[in-house]
Structure formats: C-alpha cells, structure tokens
C-alpha cells in the first residue's frame, strides 16, 4: 500500500446510517461527475459524465456512468488488446475518479469497463470496482496527533475476548432502568500501539489501532491485517477501512470478500482465551504471538510480507476438495519458509566443503567423457547448497522440531509431487501426515519470529494445547 497522498479538502466522515447501509449492501453514491481515464502512457482516453456507485445484492461495488462524450462514440472499444494467453498489460486498465453529491472525491484503480450504447447514440459505461478511496483533512483546530487505523468487518471474527462492553438503559427522567454486560472485546498493546477489537454481532466487528507516533512504513495497514490473519486463522475481509495520520485521513470502501467457509485451515492458537492452572483464563499468549509476528514484519515495505504469503497460500488451499492440492501447497510452503528464514543452517561443514573441493578438482582433471564431466561438475553446486531436509535435520538436533515432523513432510511432499496419494496411501493416514506438516509449519514460523509459548496441536486427537519448544502439554 503506497504512502497516502492526502487531499487538501475537508473530510466528511461516514455516519452510522452509511455503515449500516454498507453492511446490508444498500449503500449508494450519486455522483454528478465521474471521469474514466485509460492507463495508456501517451494520449490516454478520457470519458466523463454523471453516474452512480453502489453495492450489488452480493456485496460487489459497481459503477455506472452516463457519458456526455459525443464524438467518435462508434469507435469506443474497451476490449482488452492483449491476445488470449497473455497477461493483461497495465495500459489496458482504466482508473476512475468521481465526485459525489456531498462533494467528496473518490478514486478507484485498475478497472476494465463495459459499454452499452442506447437508442439516442449515447454510451453508458459500467463495471465492477475492487474498492473506492476518499481522502481529506479533519479541521486543523482538532490538533490530532499520531495515527489511528479503523477496520469495519462485516463477517464473523472470533477472537479471545478479555473485556466487557457495558450497556445501560434509563428512563426519560434519567433514572437507571437496566444494566447489562457482554464480554465481546479484546484490548491489548503491541509495538507501542493500542488495539481494541469489538464483536457486536456475528456480522459486525470493529478494530481500532492507535499509535502515538505515525508509523514510518507505508504498508502499515497491510501488515496489521496480515498479523491478525496469522493469529486468528482468517483474513480481515474488511468492508471499510479508515487510516488517519495527524489531521489527514483516507477512507477505503471495499467490495465484500467473504472468508472461506469450508476451509480446514486452523490458527496456531484457539480463538478463545486459554485456560491454565486454577481455572484462570488468559489472552496474554495471543498477544505475545501477535506481537512477535508484527515485530518481525512491520518494517517490510513489500506488498505482502514473506511469511504471510505462505500463510495465505495454505489458507486458500485448505478449501480444496482435493487433498493433494492442500498437501502440495503446504509442503512447498514449508520448503520456501526454510529457504527464506533459515539460510544460515544445514550447510556443509568445513571438512565436508574441503572434501568437495578436492573432488571437484579431481573431476576437473579427468579426461573422460566431456558431456558427463560437465554434468558432474554442475552437480557439485547442488551438493554444496543445503536442502530443506538438511535444515530440518539441524533443527531436529536442536530439539526445535521433531524427527517425526521432518519425516512426515518428506513423505507428503514425495507423494504429492510424484503421484496422487489415493493409490499410495490410505486417506486417514494421509490426513494425519498433513496435520503433522501443518504443526511443523507453525513451529518454523515460531522459530523465525522468536515465539515461545502454547500452541494448538492439530496433529493430536482432541487438539491439546502444548508448549513450544518441547511440545509438553501446557498447564
């Protein structure tokens, strides 16, 4: 996410009615002016006119523009110029800018519009939008400092609530009539920021992040969302996001993206508080895991953090009806994690490196078949590079993962890469191996971010809570 470029105009915030309408797919923007401009680097095409932006019944953001352009309407053609089998080039996309009836300016990027010519000869331009963005400023006299990040999430988001929301009702004369409380909030601190999650219903959750200093990373909102996905096991498919830096603010409204409902993906910790000795409950270890992961990725400026890309791939593959798709994605993710985060381990010893150099020199002086000699010399580089299994063997020697986990990964990867499992192994055993690999993946994440504490062992019956490292039952 690029650093926000704020508009100098005053900001008109969403009210409760707007949020209710967005939640129920009833929200719409009447726009006296919409401009659609192509991304062609030279002589871009531009189309202007009034229109509207609204939510479909399925929660998709749509737009319609009644273009006032009259010349050359018969030549309008939004068809993609790329040939079949080619990636759509950036010049084939269009950007949208609109002004609504309240004077707010909205933008949306990378869309491919459709056209419909009516009987009068005019053209209606329409299409789908992934999100729309509006920005501006709060009044200077508010003197706002730091930054805040708000998410409105219109799907179920379970989390380890540790705080109670109090609701009071009174009569017209101010006499107290009733008081009720619901434990539906989670409040904690991480990386010098305050977090407050509130679950008002199964279709209405909010997250407020407060930072006393403006985060220096423009990808800050994305890093926060990724950290919650790792912890809670589901993406923050937010409908509305608002990010404020000082008095400047930017508002994002997104097409609805419902989480997977049939996925087998499980988070590293249960989404409720953990119970320990004496029947006490705590969400402290959820906070610790979140904090460790956020600290590891917060400064990454890439579109996606390296670990989250693997987490999300496993999450998406977990909804497949074909177990091999999940197994292959999971084992490749483990191999990628080992390569990215554990490059300094599993290599040859000094003695082995010296012996390999001697062998390389010996083959170099060999006067046999030239083609075979070239292939053997090329194979030396492969020998010198540590394999995933070599890195896991060293982690196993350090008691950070188990030998059983390493063997499970090796077997699942070979089965998924070279043959369909149904002809090689019973489904029940295959599922058990996948679950062991799932726990292995989390253990590797724990090592790479420095987390120590309880985790949910989905590879054991009943999914007991164990301690990492050591894998003892957690008390």
Which range among 59-68, 117-126, 208-217, 236-245 shows the weakest confidence by mean pLDDT? 117-126
Are 122 and 164 found together in one domain?
no
In angstroms, the first-to-last Cα distance of the chain is: 41
- In this model, does residue 4 exceed pLDDT 60? no
Can you read off the two tokens belonging to residue 475? Answer: 């008390």
Can you read off the two tokens belonging to residue 165? Answer: 């929301």
- In this model, does residue 206 exceed pLDDT 90? yes
The reported pLDDT for the residue numbered 64 is 95
Are 122 and 162 found together in one domain?
no
Can you read off the two tokens belonging to residue 397? Answer: 């020697």
Are 414 and 460 found together in one domain?
yes
Contact 408, 440 (CB under 8 A): yes
Are 317 and 460 found together in one domain?
yes
- In this model, does residue 108 exceed pLDDT 90? yes
Query: What average pLDDT score do residues 324-348 get?
Result: 88
pLDDT category of residue 188 using cuts at 50, 70 and 90:
very high
| Nearest in space to 310 (alpha carbons), one of 340, 285, 354, 346 | 340
Residue 304 lies in a domain: no
Within 154-247, strands assigned E span: 163-170, 176-190, 193-201, 204-211, 238-245
Total tally of structural domains belonging to the chain: 3
What are the Cα distances from residue 81, in Å, to 76, 95, 109, 152? 13, 17, 18, 38
Are 242 and 341 found together in one domain?
no
- In this model, does residue 177 exceed pLDDT 60? yes
pLDDT category of residue 423 using cuts at 50, 70 and 90:
low
pLDDT category of residue 114 using cuts at 50, 70 and 90:
confident
pLDDT in tens, 20-71: 999 999 999 999 999 999 988 888 888 899 999 999 999 999 999 998 866 5
Q: How far apart are CA 452 and CA 107, in angstroms?
A: 44
Are 417 and 455 found together in one domain?
yes
- In this model, does residue 348 exceed pLDDT 80? no
Are 156 and 115 found together in one domain?
no
Are 336 and 289 found together in one domain?
no
Are 187 and 289 found together in one domain?
yes
Are 123 and 151 found together in one domain?
no
The reported pLDDT for the residue numbered 288 is 97
Query: What average pLDDT score do residues 235-249 get?
Result: 92
Are 450 and 334 found together in one domain?
yes
Contact 448, 296 (CB under 8 A): yes
Residue 375 lies in a domain: yes
Residue 186 lies in a domain: yes
Kindly give, in sequence order, each residue whose CB lies less than 8 Å from that of residue 284, ignoring residues fewer than 6 positions away.
none
Task: Quote the domain boundaries for residue 288.
Answer: 138-168+178-259+275-299
pLDDT category of residue 106 using cuts at 50, 70 and 90:
very high
Residue 6 lies in a domain: no
Residue 1 lies in a domain: no
The reported pLDDT for the residue numbered 46 is 85
The reported pLDDT for the residue numbered 380 is 74
If one compares 470 and 259, the residue with the highest pLDDT of the two is 470
Q: What 3-state class would DSSP assign to 214?
A: coil
Residue 126 lies in a domain: yes
Are 338 and 452 found together in one domain?
yes
Contact 239, 187 (CB under 8 A): no
The reported pLDDT for the residue numbered 300 is 84
- In this model, does residue 3 exceed pLDDT 50? no
The reported pLDDT for the residue numbered 451 is 96
- In this model, does residue 192 exceed pLDDT 70? yes
The reported pLDDT for the residue numbered 370 is 84
Q: How far apart are CA 453 and CA 285, in angstroms?
A: 7
Residue 267 lies in a domain: no
Q: Residue 445 phi/psi, 5° resolution?
A: -65, -45
């Amino acid at each position: 996410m690029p650093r926000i470029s704020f508009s100098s105009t005053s900001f008109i915030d969403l009210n409760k009615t707007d949020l209710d309408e967005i939640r129920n797919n009833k929200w719409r923007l009447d726009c006296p002016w919409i401009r659609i401009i192509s991304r062609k680097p030279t002589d871009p095409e531009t189309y202007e006119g009034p229109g509207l932006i609204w939510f479909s019944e399925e929660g998709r953001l749509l737009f319609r523009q009644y273009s006032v352009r009259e010349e050359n309407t018969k030549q309008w053609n939004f068809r993609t110029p790329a040939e079949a089998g080619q990636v759509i080039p950036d010049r084939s996309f269009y950007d949208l800018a609109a002004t609504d009836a309240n004077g707010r300016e909205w933008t949306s990027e990378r869309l491919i519009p459709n056209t419909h010519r009516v009987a009068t000869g005019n053209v209606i331009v329409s299409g789908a939008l992934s999100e729309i963005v509006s920005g501006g400023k709060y009044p200077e006299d508010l003197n706002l400092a730091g930054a805040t990040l708000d998410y409105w999430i219109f799907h179920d988001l379970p989390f380890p609530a540790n705080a109670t929301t109090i609701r009071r009702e009174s009569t017209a004369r101010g006499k107290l009539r009733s008081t009720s409380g619901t434990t539906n909030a989670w409040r904690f601190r991480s990386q010098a920021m305050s977090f407050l999650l509130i679950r008002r219903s199964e279709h209405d959750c909010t997250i407020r992040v407060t930072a006393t200093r403006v985060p220096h990373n423009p990808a800050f909102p994305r890093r926060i969302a990724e950290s919650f996905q790792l912890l809670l096991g589901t993406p923050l498919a937010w409908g509305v996001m608002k990010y404020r830096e000082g008095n400047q603010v930017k508002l994002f409204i997104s097409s609805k993206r419902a989480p997977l409902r049939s996925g087998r993906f499980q988070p590293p910790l249960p989404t409720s508080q953990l119970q320990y000795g004496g029947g006490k409950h705590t969400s402290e270890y959820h906070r610790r895991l979140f904090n460790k992961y956020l600290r590891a990725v917060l400064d990454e400026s890439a579109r996606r953090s390296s670990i989250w890309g693997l987490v999300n791939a496993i999450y998406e593959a977990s909804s497949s009806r074909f177990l091999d798709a999940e197994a292959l994605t999971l084992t490749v993710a483990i191999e990628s994690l080992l390569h990215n985060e554990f490059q300094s381990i599993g290599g040859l010893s000094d003695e082995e490196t010296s012996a390999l150099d001697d062998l390389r020199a010996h083959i170099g002086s060999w006067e046999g078949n030239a083609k075979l000699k070239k292939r053997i010399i090329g194979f030396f580089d492969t020998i010198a590079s540590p394999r995933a299994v070599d890195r896991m063997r060293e982690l196993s020697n350090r008691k950070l993962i188990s030998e059983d986990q390493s063997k499970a990964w090796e077997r699942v990867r070979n089965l998924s890469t070279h043959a369909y499992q149904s002809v090689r192994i019973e489904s029940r055993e295959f599922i058990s191996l996948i679950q062991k690999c799932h726990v292995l993946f989390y253990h590797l994440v724990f090592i790479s971010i420095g987390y120590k504490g309880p985790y949910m062992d989905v590879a054991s019956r009943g999914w007991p809570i164990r301690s990492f490292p050591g894998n003892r039952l957690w008390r």
